[in-house]
Every structure is written in structure tokens, then in C-alpha cells.
Amino acid sequence: NAGVTQTPKFQVLKTGQSMTLQCAQDMNHEYMSWYRQDPGMGLRLIHYSVGAGITDQGEVPNGYNVSRSTTEDFPLRLLSAAPSQTSVYFCASSYSTDINNEQFFGPGTRLTVL
Amino acid sequence: DQQVKQNSPSLSVQEGRISILNCDYTNSMFDYFLWYKKYPAEGPTFLISISSIKDKNEDGRFTVFLNKSAKHLSLHIVPSQPGDSAVYFCAASALYNSGNTPLVFGKGTRLSVIA
């Protein structure tokens, strides 16, 4: 199993550009989520999904869109990038929302918005 | 309002000694707590967890203690090893009728174990 994969690893955008951060898992996990990590801020939840076709907002959803058309993929879209979205983005997945199911994280995407 | 607080941004410990990382929470509905470990340029990895029905959970060199009345938990690492140098995140979740809430993370504590 590849686990949770994220592409790209690094990305530089200009203000106003749009892009999609890709996340895929091959563990047949129902629950997937996106976090951002900023210095001194820990991990903050952006959006999450409890299954294909179902998404919900987390703590910091503004400026981001998600969709979940398949169990495997959970892309995160930046509609119009802003410098405040400079961060490291982590995708995570687990078998279900049951807390006893370990949540696995991807290696992260480091995004810089100029 | 921060629901999970790790008030020490960093901690430095000598190899072989005990490392104690602390975490406080404000939401009394939280009933499951986890510790994640993160190395640079990698995603966080699960380390150890504890349910609110327990006050202690042990896994090898790692022990987590929970004091519900104080809304406080701590992670003890004994003995500390240089490979333990990483950022440690405390996380919490609450159980409702619809299932567990998404994890809420603290800001993390950077542990440095000095050889």
C-alpha cells in the first residue's frame, strides 16, 4: 500500500491564481480530511469527508473547496490564492470516524503564495 | 478560542532522562485524546491515545496520563532517546450520536533530546 499520497510536494503561486492539491489513499478509507499547519498554530482542519459525495467544513474553510467523487481521492481547491494561504497542507484518512481507527497523514504539500 | 492547549512550545531533555509533555483542554465533551509525533518534512504519525474512562495508558517507553477533573493530560517518555526529537501534537475528540468529532489539535511542543 502507498498509504496517503499528496501532490505536489512544493508549489509557488501568485496571488489570485487557482490550483488543486491532490490527495489519494489506497486503504479504502471512508474518512478523509485536510489540515493546514502554520508556525505556532498547530494543525487546523479545513474540510473533511465521511464518505464519497459527503463533505463538511472544518475550522478554517474559507477560500477552499473540496469534493469527494470517489472513495480514493479528496482534492483541495484554492479558488483565488492569497498570501494568507501560505502554509503546509496535510491530507489524512482513516477507516471511519470511529476514534479507534487510526488517522494516517500524507507527507504534506508546502504552498507559498506570493 | 483554543480548545486544546500546549503551552510549552519547546522542551529540551538529556538522553536517558524523562520527557514530560503537557496538554490542557477546555471542552468538557472531549472524551478521547491522542498524541501525534511529527518529524520535519513528514506528516504526523499516531503515537498513543487514551479514552476518558481511563487515567493512564502505557505503550513501551510512552505513557499518557489523563486528569479529567483538571482537564489535563501529559505524555511521559522514559528513557528519552535522540530519535524522539520531534514535534508532538496533542489532539482531542468528542463522541456524539453521529460519531466522533474531527480531531482538534494543539499547537505542538518541539522536543529536543540531547545526547
**pLDDT of A48 higher than 90:** yes
Residue B108 at interface with chain A, using a CB cutoff of 8 Å: yes
Closest CA to A56 of A73, A36, A31: A31
Q: What is the pLDDT of residue B35?
A: 97
Q: A50: which chain B residues are within 8 Å (Cβ-Cβ)?
A: 99
pLDDT of residue A97: 74
Query: At residue B69, what is the residue type?
Result: S
Q: Which three cell numbers stand for residue A90?
A: 496535510
Q: Under a CB-based contact definition with an 8 Å cutoff, are residues B66 and B56 in contact?
A: yes
Contacts of A33 in chain B (CB under 8 A): 102
Q: Tell me if B38 sits within 8 A of B45, measured CB to CB.
A: yes
| A:B CB pairs within 8 Å | 53
Whether A92 and B43 lie within 8 Å, measured CB to CB = yes
Q: What pLDDT does residue B14 have?
A: 98
**How many other C-beta atoms lie within 10 A of the C-beta of residue A39?**
9
pLDDT in tens, B21-39: 999 999 999 999 999 999 9
Of all residues in chain B, the one with the smallest CA distance to A9 is: B41
Least CB–CB distance from A97: residue in B44, B100, B108 = B100
Give the mean pLDDT of B56-84: 97
Say if residues A44 and A58 touch (Cβ distance below 8 Å): yes
